[in-house]
Structure 1
């Protein structure tokens, strides 16, 4: 039962049994004599109560108020009522008085040696007589002991009234013998639903009780314990637990739908390193059969299967590979594992391992083959274009939108004596012009700076340090960039304007 451990259940049953036994023992002790002796018959030193039955139905009784403590005269309607009240005090009693033979008289002394009460069963034709004889209490000590036991029973009742679950004890006929306040608070309809649910199956079972009006439904977990002559039913309100389970189930369903649509393969291993969750993309990327993954293989078996499918980088030897896998698992469990796997078939997978609460590990498998191919192609194109620019005898430099040197060809580097790629710091337009003024002081760099900052076109001629005529061209590029070109005057593609000396 949720909320009630096996130990708590055992204690509850033991306490319930103790209450019943204490009541019976108290009733027996309140009428016993201190000296041991045989069971007594009705004498001036004893009291008795007689009950007449016909076919187990009560027809007459002479029990005076207080004769049998704890039992009112109108509480007895048939033999089963009296039999239930007598309990096990006189040993097993016949289920029906019809079991007595005509003229038979059966004396049943109390089973406790300290209890001197006597129960007499007799039958005469169609009438049955039951007589209970009790010795009178000789003094106040026994009455004081009985009162103390009654107080103890009241305390136990108060404890059970504050128990975290509702408890009801029934006899073999389904009638209520005892219940705590938790069960008494339920109306008859709810109580009947709980009792019916407990009787349908062994062990704990859940039952949903519809709410009244706008009140929400309630969920109970019910369970019963059967003894020879009684049944104890326990009902615990687990509505908050049921709601939390519903939210968790819906959340998992949502995640499952999301994982199913991912193109990235997902494999989650629990704290015991067993595969707990995977998505369809993992099947597509690894080629592993679904039955294998559904069997929740251990983590090492999972990677062994990947190796068999050649979905792992080809190892030099098996022992080294096992060590690499163990290191990878340790890294993923301790923080973050990230590596690109270049497979023998030319595919490239990016594998990410992340730790999760409770010792779980999640591995993500992403096919980045196209990304790698695109990156390689891009780098190849860039390298080719840089080679073309380096082969030109014109000095060329490109400034980005932030006026940082993005590209500088070989001729420009040799002419000005610079190498922007060799420095960690970016070369700005100001840095470039400072170098240019030192290398070519008569070039009119102010006009060049103004054109680059304004993203204007500029075509001018300049004089080199050795008197050679040079041209300078500034053009705007897409993305708010600019390119400056320096070359010999005879290479100018169109007429230029000479800077006044």
Structure 2
């Protein structure tokens, strides 16, 4: 019994009706949704019936003998379902099992992580789970309108309470027969993670844009996926070529055509070299300096990245190479000057290991530290000097002077009548030097006589 479309009395408890929870049929529209799937289109309101009218509606299924009777008297409405087929024990058991199954499914959907609402062809609600019921009417309608506007999944941002962040929902709309379903999943955390990822990529992009090292990242399919402006400057390749996402081989073909690769002897050997380079980079082993035909020198590094990607770094080290060559030239010149000196000189580093020994010293002592497999220590040099030049205690004093980085000068008479001057000096960087200079007595006397 209904009064102004509000349920006021019933002879069957709602919980005994299949697919109905307590309170689900408290109004005519809700009961109308529950009966509509069996008896077809029903009046939107019981007040649509004429006063005193009795309307019998048969079930839409030809095998179903049930009849729905609707009547109206004054402001009251009466709804009655009559089924002449008396249910036997098996039918009652089937009905109970069906009701239990529906209840179980409703419980599962109520605990589902997404919101679900089922609509009739006119867009009226037939059923919704607890998550969808948690949205206020305005939000629920916004979800439905957004979902039904498209056939694909759509994201929707809804303002949260004053103290909470906005909520992002992904909504999708599907059709199943004469009903429709709207699914809404809260993807706020996913959306926030994607936003952080975009910000991180933007930050990396800005960093890459300011790098002087050229960067080329190839995806697992070996197509160029990312490059920075420095790569354009170093390779001279046009931006459209790089933007077309060339393959690795096409990229290196373009470098060869632009003479930004070491000059190959022939194409076959060049292809083998490139394939070896790609394999080495994929294994994290590629590092090589390219001497280009134009005199430039590039250091190329290949590194593997997750998911099969490969990154190549191109660094212009021309100035570094030129500076290193200049330093090597200066060092060679200094060594030549020391080798041309009449004085034997040997230098010890901070760890008292021989770091330099000129030719006169090598000839005087019969040693060659550069050709030695192991480093030559101060103690070993002192031992050689004691055996070759003099066995008195002067070399103990020389050793202590070197260890203390103190100045010392000693005179060592030699068996041939000459004199050997030994000087110990301190050098920058906590190094020390021993200088050995031979002086012949006859030469000094002759010089004094002339004076």
TM class by smaller structure? 0.7 to 0.9
8 A Cα contact 1:452 1:482, kept in partner: yes
SS in 2 for 1:87: helix
Deviation at 1:359, TM superposition (A): 0.9
Q: CA RMSD in A?
A: 3.7
Distance 1:461 1:111, change over 3 A: same
2-side partners of 1:112 and 1:83: how far apart?
17
Aligned counterpart, 2:231: 282
2-side partners of 1:240 and 1:64: how far apart?
47
Aligned counterpart, 2:429: 479
Aligned counterpart, 1:32: none
2-side partners of 1:434 and 1:130: how far apart?
121
Aligned counterpart, 1:457: 407
Which residues of 2 match residues 149-188 of structure 1 at below 5 A?
A: 149-188=98-137
**RCO higher in structure (CA 8 A, sep ≥6):** 1
2-side partners of 1:96 and 1:202: how far apart?
32
Aligned counterpart, 1:326: 275
8 A Cα contact 1:283 1:290, kept in partner: yes
1:291 aligns with 2:240: yes
8 A Cα contact 2:216 2:231, kept in partner: yes
8 A Cα contact 2:418 2:440, kept in partner: no
Which residues of 2 match residues 201-220 of structure 1 at below 5 A?
A: 201-220=150-169
Match of 2:301 among 343, 352, 371: 352
1:435 aligns with 2:393: no
Aligned counterpart, 2:328: 379
Deviation at 1:194, TM superposition (A): 2.2
With normalisation by structure 2, the TM-score equals 0.82
2-side partners of 1:147 and 1:381: how far apart?
100
Between 1:215-224 and 1:344-353, the stretch displaced more is 215-224
SS in 2 for 1:116: coil
Deviation at 1:170, TM superposition (A): 2.2
1-side partners of 2:137 and 2:156: how far apart?
16
2-side partners of 1:227 and 1:240: how far apart?
30
Match of 2:439 among 485, 489, 498: 489
1-side partners of 2:258 and 2:354: how far apart?
49
1:467 aligns with 2:417: yes
SS in 1 for 2:412: strand
Q: After superposition, give the CA deviation of every residue in 1:36-90 in whole Å (9 maximum; x if it has no partner).
A: xxxxxxxxxxxxx9x9xxxxxx99x9x9745999599x8676xx88875543545
8 A Cα contact 2:68 2:82, kept in partner: yes
Deviation at 1:375, TM superposition (A): 1.2
Distance 1:130 1:401, change over 3 A: closer
8 A Cα contact 1:399 1:407, kept in partner: yes
2-side partners of 1:233 and 1:450: how far apart?
92
Distance 1:190 1:416, change over 3 A: same
8 A Cα contact 1:442 1:464, kept in partner: no
Aligned counterpart, 1:234: 183
2-side partners of 1:67 and 1:260: how far apart?
72
Aligned counterpart, 1:101: none
Between 1:479-488 and 1:267-276, the stretch displaced more is 479-488
Distance 1:199 1:250, change over 3 A: same
1-side partners of 2:27 and 2:421: how far apart?
126
Aligned counterpart, 1:408: 357
Aligned counterpart, 2:214: 265
Deviation at 1:467, TM superposition (A): 1.8
Distance 1:453 1:143, change over 3 A: closer
Unaligned segments of structure 2, at least 5 residues: 47-53, 71-77, 445-451
Aligned counterpart, 2:196: 247
Deviation at 1:386, TM superposition (A): 0.8
Distance 1:382 1:246, change over 3 A: same
1:194 aligns with 2:143: yes
Deviation at 1:417, TM superposition (A): 0.5
8 A Cα contact 1:451 1:474, kept in partner: yes
Deviation at 1:166, TM superposition (A): 1.0
Distance 1:486 1:143, change over 3 A: closer
8 A Cα contact 1:90 1:119, kept in partner: yes
SS in 2 for 1:431: helix
Deviation at 1:369, TM superposition (A): 1.1
2-side partners of 1:67 and 1:182: how far apart?
25
